[in-house]
Amino acid sequence: MTITRTVATARRVVQQLQHDHRTVALILVVPCVLMGLLAWMLSDADFNQYGAPLLGIFPLIVMFLTTSVATLRERESGTLERLLSMPIAKVDFVLGYALAFGLLGVVQALVVSGLAVGPFGLEVAGPTWALIVVAVIDALLGTALGLFVSAFAKTEFQAVQFMPALILPQLLLCGIVVPREELPTALRLLSDVLPMSYAVDATTEVMTSTSMSADFWLNVGIVALFMAVGLALGAGTLRRRTP
Partner 1 sequence: MTDESPAVICQDLCVVRGGVSVLPGLSVRVASGRVTGLLGPSGSGKTTLIRSVVGVQQVASGTVSVLGLPAGSAELRRRVAYVTQDASVYADLTVAQNVGYFASILGAPASDVDRVICEVGLEGREGDRVGQLSGGERSRVSLAVALLGSPEVLVLDEPTVGLDPVLRRDLWKMFGGLAATGLTLLISSHVMDEASRCDDLMLLRDGQLLAHDSVAAILTSTGTSDIESAFLSLVEGAP
Interacting residues toward partner 1 by CB under 8 A: 4-5, 8-9, 11-12, 15-16, 19-20, 77-79, 81-88, 240-243
In this complex, which beta carbon is closest to partner 1, that of residue 66 or of residue 170?
66
Collapse the DSSP code of 94 into the 3-class scheme (helix H, G, I; strand E, B; otherwise coil) and give the result: helix
Residue 41 in contact with residue 131, Cβ under 8 Å? no
**Distances in Å between the alpha carbon of 173 and those of 90, 140, 180?**
33, 20, 7
In the complex with partner 1, which residue's Cβ is closer, 83 or 220? 83
Whole-number CA gyration radius for the chain: 18
If the CB atoms of residues 22 and 186 are measured against partner 1, the closer one turns out to be 22
In the complex, the smallest distance separating the C-beta of residue 19 from partner 1, rounded to whole angstroms, is 5
Cβ closer to partner 1: 89 or 110?
89
- Shortest spacing between CB 12 and partner 1, in angstroms: 4
Query: What minimum distance in Å lies between the beta carbon of 75 and partner 1?
Result: 11
Q: 62: Cβ–Cβ under 8 A, 6 or more apart, which residues?
A: 27, 30, 31, 108, 139, 142
- 67 close to 143: Cβ distance less than 8 angstroms: yes
* Closest CB to partner 1 among residues 184, 243: 243
**Closest separation in Å from C-beta 103 to partner 1:** 17
Nearer to partner 1, 72 or 116 (CB): 72
Cα distance between residue 111 and residue 114, in whole Å: 5
Q: How far is the CB of 200 from partner 1 (least distance, A)?
A: 35
Q: Determine the residue type at 197.
A: S
DSSP summary character for residue 178: S
- Within its chain, how far is the Cα of 16 from the centroid? 19
Q: How far is the CB of 147 from partner 1 (least distance, A)?
A: 17
The Cα–Cα gap between 35 and 48 comes to 11
Instruction: Of 5, 155, 158, give the one whose Cα is nearest residue 84.
Output: 5
